[in-house]
């Protein structure tokens, strides 16, 4: 009975991580998601300030000071990076990371852009465009969507989601970055409060080397890495109706030997390479794309779901299964 109870608790944690809640938690500290789009509605705006007052040591006084100020400095708006034809892939990725960093990490306790992982890629790219227009601070999952958008015009760069679950002081923490692969080397783009938990230059020979680099960074903060979840390569077609496959492989790092982990990551790398040769489903017509609209503006019509490959825990073969039609908001809580 104890084993069953523990298993059900872990399963429920996974479901909450995938589906999301109005009030999400990062190591016990709650934060909210703005579900009303932009500009932020009055109810969400006031809730954000109430939340700041609760979690900040001088939150109430700080809120009054900021909201009552008339001479706040103007915040510069970062420019989306542009490149010369001679700009190399590593240089382009560094420019994208610099842009993501300039947007700054969102410390308000309210995520400004709602990211639902079950949405088709074209809808998520609409959100990414909105991020570049609004230039608001972002969190790690938003940075992944933005990174996909900014690398869509780089056919020589393959992108895949790479998420982590770590444990520290009785709490679990979730974080996600965008893994990249080009020229036989791996790297990563992302956003974090920790400098060594986001960008990784394109210099890691294997996926194992990249994962070990992140694991070493976690150890530096006394975190124990528990799970690594890796998705498939993401389509470069910004109008694709595919859903991103976020969790093709789920690896229990603390239960695998180093050699077992290496073999699992090698297998996943082969799986990703095999996907490159598979044709993507057709993109919607121009009229269809226009009728879909921005996911942040109108929520009138439901978006058609497509079946996707069920995630594969470490050591098991993946199986095909029809996903539930329930809309999921799998915000990966950040470190």
Pair of tokens at residue 299: 């929520």
Catalytic residue among 51, 172, 174, 175: 175
Could you give the 3-state DSSP secondary structure of residue 100? Answer: helix
The β-bridge partners of 173 are 166
Strands (E) in the chain, as ranges, are: 23-26, 29-33, 110-111, 158-168, 171-182, 185-189, 200-204, 224-230, 249-252, 308-309, 312-313, 320-321
Could you give the 3-state DSSP secondary structure of residue 297? Answer: coil
Specify burial of residue 95 (Cβ count, 10 A radius: 0-12, 13-18, 19+): middle
Catalytic residue among 51, 140, 236, 249: 140
Catalytic-residue membership of 175? yes
Q: Is 109 left (phi over 0), alpha (psi -120 to 50) or beta?
A: left
Catalytic-residue membership of 140? yes
d(CA 306, CA 67): 45
Catalytic-residue membership of 169? no
State the catalytic residues.
140, 175, 192
């Amino acid at each position: 009975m104890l084993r069953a109870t523990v298993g059900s608790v872990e399963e429920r944690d996974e479901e909450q991580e995938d589906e999301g809640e109005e009030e999400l938690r990062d190591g016990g500290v709650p934060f909210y998601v703005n579900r009303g789009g932009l500009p932020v509605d009055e109810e969400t705006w006031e809730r954000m300030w109430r939340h700041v007052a609760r979690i900040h040591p001088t939150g109430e006084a700080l809120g009054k000071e900021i909201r009552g100020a008339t001479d706040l400095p103007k915040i510069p708006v970062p420019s989306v990076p542009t490149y010369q034809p001679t700009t190399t892939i590593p240089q382009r990725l560094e420019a994208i990371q610099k842009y993501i960093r300039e947007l700054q990490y969102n410390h308000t306790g309210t995520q400004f852009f709602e990211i639902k992982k079950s949405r088709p890629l074209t809808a998520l790219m609409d959100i990414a465009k909105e991020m570049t227009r609004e230039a608001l601070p972002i969190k790690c999952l938003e940075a992944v969507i933005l990174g996909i958008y900014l690398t869509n015009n780089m056919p020589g760069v393959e992108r895949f989601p790479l998420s982590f679950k770590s444990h520290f002081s009785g709490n679990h923490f979730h974080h996600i970055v965008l893994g990249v692969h080009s020229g036989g080397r791996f790297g990563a783009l992302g956003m974090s409060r920790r400098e060594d938990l986001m960008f990784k230059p394109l210099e890691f020979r294997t996926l194992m080397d990249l994962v070990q680099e992140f694991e070493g960074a976690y150890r530096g903060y006394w975190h124990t890495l528990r799970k690594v979840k890796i998705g498939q390569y993401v389509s470069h077609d910004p109008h694709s109706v595919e859903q991103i496959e976020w969790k093709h492989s789920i690896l229990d790092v603390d239960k695998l030997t180093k050699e077992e982990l290496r073999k699992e990551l090698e297998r996943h790398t082969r799986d990703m390479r095999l996907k490159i040769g598979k044709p993507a489903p057709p993109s919607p017509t121009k009229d269809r794309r226009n009728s879909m609209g921005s996911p942040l503006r109108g929520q009138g019509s439901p978006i058609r779901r497509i079946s996707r490959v069920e995630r594969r825990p470490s050591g098991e073969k993946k199986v095909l299964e029809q996903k539930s039609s329930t809309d999921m908001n799998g915000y990966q809580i950040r470190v």
